[in-house]
Structure 1
């Protein structure tokens, strides 16, 4: 890459910025990291602008002209903030950006300063060699993804919609990484899956409020708000939501089964999942909706029955199921419990068989000829939920090579988060191919 820093150095530099996001507006801020990104872009001859939704809550936007202005643009978006990390729990300081034993350590190494560094490295490489992508690239390095995006992607989409004019598709986190799976019968070399996210379940966080009659804790009370709430939560938590196979999940099951040489019977989902081995972990949470109680709040004194009790429920919704899910939730809650949205971000569904997906698969196979590229649905959510309503098809494609046994899915938000240095370089090569040829 000429005289420019390589992807490992860029990622290490980003990891050293403390961009911790504790939620509810309590954050260290992304401004310093944003200034670094803007400087790296300037070094590649790219003019950018920093947007602040609030003091210190900074996002960087730039547009890179392509060689064919008739093509729709591609949005390349990543977030600069990270979740908290307690140094006492880590083997290295979480903001050290230390390289050790072939890995780069630090909070954000896989979520998702690795991808941000890859983008910067690729743009530096293109500048060194005088190459340009075929289509315009809109670059967005945003704040606040680790909370609600109200200081980042959602704010930008609402207040600065014009920045994304002409974008037909987007790529971002959580896809394109190596996932080693033994073949059927365990005979032969592992199959190297590379799942690309073409869908996300929606995020519908609910606040439940039960009301009743206040009274003394020693006396009978058939209108106890706490009892009403607990009974509703028991019904909700115990409910088995029906299987709903979206196009992405169906394609994942069929294509992964074929790659592993195992039978896929969609009428016997449990049997199919058992035959997929470790690959089942990529899909088991996205064959159904889910309603998981996570927070409770009631009362102020042990001998006082409160008149109000509240709970929050992490509800995840598959594409095409929102109305049916909420109707069933209302039935399960019963007459004395009300619900309201704390967060309501609809599901994401992009095309499985598209030019974009094909180009991603080709870029991966160019670097790993044995790659088996499959679509998958994310169980959680990303900033794709901010950009999909703008008419942009959003994909999870942040390519990485990962060694067998590396606990990648435990790294994001986990202790001792780290990424293999050679995996970063592999990802940068794949990304460069994709951005040049898509």
Structure 2
């Protein structure tokens, strides 16, 4: 570790950030998609206590908004002196996904510090960043030097279940309070080779429900029956036997050049015709390469029948479909019909909730500030990437605000390690990565609004 990295890893706010992260993990704001889950008000209360001293100075404004009982979000703002300066948003969510404790070797809501790592659900996704955002915001409010532009913490509910009770609701009901001109959030900081990945784009979501009909009958006389379950099996088989073609977008070559050292392998990956034959050679990065190079279709939920002795007449299959930039709903439906072939006429396609793919250019002043900060702290170059999943960045991009996935994890944090921790067992984050993130974040804030 270089002298600069050592200094950054012992950032003055590290201990406070770690204590805040532990407190938020222990509140267990688990969001299972139901209205009554999440209860992010508990983490809002934690943040209010953490920020109370800065609020008392009069330089930090804090407001709490509840979209439903217990589904609270917090917006904290340090106002700048120049109305023409940027308003930088730090967007961190407060909820976490459910957990199966049987898969963990530690208490998933213990927030324990063990061998230099904080353990707990949400440690990586994304409470460590939310805690870092709050620390830097608090310190800016307590500083004797005023900011030029606004610095805004958007600590929001419901990101893990689509953001309807979080940033979507805030923008509908309290748009003035949300006001930012640029933003950073999660899904960055992992390593692609020697590069640090910063997310500039996200795939879209185009969920579908396939409704299949069959002829009902008594299950004791199955001969000649054409029940919905059998037909659903045929539909599943058809979907699994056809793969959407690769469509390599503008970020693909940068990803390949950053991650793939073998020139021959890299050349083959740049050819959409030869790409699929190469995927088995990519090891742990193959899943990401497959996901960002095409539309993906994943069957997730099956429903059919009510009792074991009746051949059902009706079945439903839910699909998680992730789309590339520019893909329309009509194109998704056309692709499904083409994949189903002669089964298409027997299947109804219903639209579930979705959103388009989004992107922010890697040419904005904010991206340049991120790039400078990350390189100064880590000594490594940055590579812009597309995220296969989603975040609240997409909502801000949808209203014209440039937004990026940020973070600066340690050199051992490959993309594979990052994905293993997100929503996985034994999720944890090391103190060094928190320190590096804090150091880069302080530089970004100073660059844009300091």
Q: Same fold (TM over 0.5)?
A: yes
Change (3 A) 1:152 1:368: same
Residues 306/270 of structure 1: CA separation in 2 closer, same or farther (3 Å cut):
closer
The correspondence for 1:200, drawn from 184, 196, 202, is 202
Contact 2:108/2:121 (8 A) holds in 1? yes
Residue aligning to 1:245: 248
CA distance in 2, matches of 1:4, 1:253: 34
Q: Counterpart of 1:168?
A: 181
For residue 22 of structure 1, give the secondary structure of its aligned residue in structure 2: coil
Provide the rounded CA distance (Å) in 1 between the counterparts of 2:278 and 2:13.
51
In the alignment, structure 1 residue 142 sits paired with structure 2 residue 156: yes
Decide whether the 8 Å contact of 1:298 with 1:309 is kept in 2: yes
Offset, 1:383 = 1.8
Contact 2:190 2:413 in 1 (8 A): no
Say which SS state the counterpart of residue 115 (structure 1) adopts. Answer: helix
Task: Assess, with a 3 A threshold, how the Cα gap between structure 1 residues 281 and 195 changes in structure 2: closer, same or farther.
Answer: farther
Q: 1:403 aligns with which of 395, 412, 418?
A: 412
TM superposition shift of 1:270: 4.8
| Alignment deviations for residues 68-96 of structure 1 (CA, whole Å, 9 cap, x no partner) | 32133222111101112344432222222
- How many corresponding residue pairs? 423
For residues 190 and 126 of structure 2, what CA distance do their matches in structure 1 show?
A: 13
Counterparts of 1:342 and 1:270, CA distance in 2: 29
What's the offset of the Cα at 1:52?
0.6
DSSP-derived class of the 1:243 partner: coil
Out of 5, 19, 23, the position equivalent to 1:13 is 23
Cα distance, 1:273–1:360 mapped onto 2, change above 3 Å: farther
Distance 1:113-1:200 versus aligned 2 partners, 3 A rule: same
Unaligned runs of 5+ in 2: 1-10
* Distance across 2 between alignment mates of 1:363 and 1:3: 17
Q: Distance in 1 between matches of 2:15 and 2:208?
A: 45
Distance 1:269 1:130, change over 3 A: farther
Give deviations 1:212-248, integer Å, cap 9, x for gaps: 3322332555653333332222222222111112222
How far, CA to CA, are the matches of 2:141 and 2:86 in structure 1?
Answer: 22
Q: 1:48–1:61: 8 Å Cα contact kept in structure 2?
A: yes
1:327 maps to which of 319, 331, 334:
334
Structure 2 counterpart SS, 1:56: coil
Change in Cα spacing, 1:341 to 1:161, as seen in structure 2 (3 Å) is farther
TM-score, length basis structure 2: 0.86
Cα shift at 1:30: 0.9
> Which residue is 1:437 aligned to?
447
In 1, are the aligned partners of 2:190 and 2:408 still within 8 Å (CA)? yes
Local SS of the residue matching 1:114: helix
- Closer, same or farther: CA 402–33 of 1 in aligned 2, 3 Å: farther
After TM superposition, the structure 1 stretch with the greater mean CA deviation from structure 2, 220-229 or 234-243, is 220-229
RMSD over aligned CA atoms reads 2.6
Question: Does the CA-based 8 Å contact 1:256-1:374 persist in structure 2?
Answer: no
Q: Is 1:362 the equivalent of 2:372?
A: yes
Contact 1:292–1:313 under 8 Å retained in 2: yes
Give the superposition deviation at 1:37: 1.2
Aligned counterpart for 1:232 among listed residues 205, 230, 235: 235
Q: Which runs of 5+ in 1 are unaligned?
A: 182-191
Are residues 106 and 249 of structure 1, via their aligned partners in 2, closer, same or farther at CA, if it must alter by over 3 Å? same
Which deviates more, 20-29 or 310-319? Answer: 20-29
Q: 1:367 to 1:275 in 2, by over 3 A?
A: farther
Task: Show CA shifts across 1:200-222 (max 9, x none).
Answer: 11112211111233223325556
Q: Secondary structure at the match of 1:382?
A: coil
Q: Flag the structure with higher helix content.
A: 2
User: What is the alpha-carbon distance in structure 1 between the residues aligned to residue 398 and residue 348 of structure 2?
Assistant: 28
Q: 2:174, 2:147 → 1: CA distance?
A: 24
Q: Residue 131 of structure 1: CA displacement?
A: 3.6
Whole-angstrom distance in 1 between the partners of 2:295 and 2:320: 11
